[in-house]
Copies of this chain bind each other. A is one copy, B any other.
Amino acid sequence: MEADPSDKVFKALADPGRRLLLDRLRAEDGQTLRRLCEDMGMTRQAVAKHLRVLEEASLVVPIRRGREKLHHLNPAPIQEIADRWIGRFDRGRLRALADLKAKLEGDPDG
């Protein structure tokens, strides 16, 4: 039902825990699940679920190394969103905000 491929990325980014995981992988790439569980305040299985969501959004690429699974960050989908989607709201439109503020202040009854 959902054709937009970037939808998974948006949904994956919607959770603060998952954003934290991305931050941690950015700080140190290729960490193991056990390692990523530290200071997350939740069980290993919960973290594994979050990582799975990130994997399905292609934000994290897992590499099996013997009995452990190294998680690698893939920033490409985020850049894609920044370029394709957020780029639409370019800085030129930010001028509209000033206009809006002026309108709000000059027309207090709404």
Contact = CB atoms under 8 A, between A and B. Distances in A.
Contact of A91 (B19, B65, B79, B85): B79
A10 to B, nearest CB: 5
A22 to B, nearest CB: 8
Nearest to A70: B110
A100 B75 contact: no
Given A23-B88, A75-B97, 9 more contacts: A11-B14, A19-B85, A26-B89, A61-B104, A64-B109, A74-B97, A75-B96, A76-B94, A78-B89
Which 10 A-B residue pairings sit nearest by Cβ, starting from the closest?
A: A64-B110, A75-B89, A14-B14, A82-B86, A78-B89, A11-B14, A75-B93, A10-B14, A63-B110, A72-B100
